[in-house]
Amino acid sequence: MSAAAPKARRGRDGAETRARIEQEALRLFAEKGVDGTSVRDIAQAVGVAEGALYRHFASKEALARDIFLARYAELAAAIGAITAQVPDLAGRVRALVAHACALFDAEPALFAYLLVTQHDHLTAVAADPSANVAEAIAAMMREAMEKGELPAQDVSLAAALALGAVVQPAVFVLYGRLPAPLAAYAGRIAEAVLAALGARDVTAAGCAGTE
């Protein structure tokens, strides 16, 4: 028993160090970009030697990809959870927009990182809706079409319209063209998504009081 305790402690410490590396790397990547951030920058921010990073990640690029894929998958999982909990399209859209706005307000650095680096990593994202935001939204759209909540349409375009209606206001808040918080616009954004998709039998009543 006494011999096992130090090993367990080392495992805990390793997990904590990895989490701190990911947290500081995310912040630096959002501020300076992946190319503008060095391994030394990350190590200094975490308070460890550069070699400690390589014990957890093969390279800076591997670290950047791991962060992207993990956090992108978390977003996809949230879409799946809301879809499972809320039965109708309008309710799902409003819940998803509220979730996205709250996430942005809590972690703007995460949003900036996902936005800036998506072109480097999206080809590595699995097609499974549980790990892919666009596929999770497309799956929700297909179900809505089958139920008659949406007219038949190209689901890829529908997903692009939905994402754009959320992302662009977030970009404006990020760069000061709209005052924070993004959550103040959740109602209007949800209305815009539903209108862009041509959702049927939807009124703005469910969005009242959210702005």
Question: What is the predicted pLDDT for the residue at 13?
Answer: 67
- Residues 43-95 have pLDDT tens digits of 999 999 999 899 999 999 999 999 999 988 999 999 999 999 999 999 999 99
The two tokens of residue 88 are 């109708």
- Whether this model's pTM surpasses 0.85: no
- 14 closest CA partner among 55, 75, 73: 55
* pLDDT mean over 156-169: 92
What is the fold, at CATH topology level, of the domain defined by 61-207? Answer: Tetracycline Repressor; domain 2 (1.10.357)
Asked if 17 and 55 count as a contact pair (C-beta separation under 8 A), the reply is: no
Domain boundaries, the chain: 1-57, 61-207
Q: How many CB atoms lie within 10 A of CB 39?
A: 16
- Helix 108-121 / helix 89-106 crossing angle, nearest 10 deg: 110
- Residues 85-101 have pLDDT tens digits of 999 999 999 999 999 99
Residue 171 has pLDDT above 90, yes or no: yes
1-57 and 61-207 have identical folds: no
Question: What is the predicted pLDDT for the residue at 202?
Answer: 57
Question: What is the predicted pLDDT for the residue at 118?
Answer: 83
Question: What is the predicted pLDDT for the residue at 3?
Answer: 52
Residue 146 has pLDDT above 50, yes or no: yes
- Helix 60-85 / helix 89-106 crossing angle, nearest 10 deg: 140
Q: Which residue has the tokens 């089958």?
A: 146
- Residues 111-127 have pLDDT tens digits of 888 887 888 888 888 88
Write b or e for each residue in 190-201: b if 16 or more Cβ atoms lie within 10 A of its Cβ, otherwise e: bbbbbeebebee
Question: What is the predicted pLDDT for the residue at 208?
Answer: 42
CA distances to 4, 45, 167, 183, 184 from 162, rounded to whole Å, are: 51, 36, 9, 16, 18
Question: What is the predicted pLDDT for the residue at 2?
Answer: 47
Domain 1-57, classified CATH 3.90.1300.10, yes or no:
no
Residues in the chain: 211
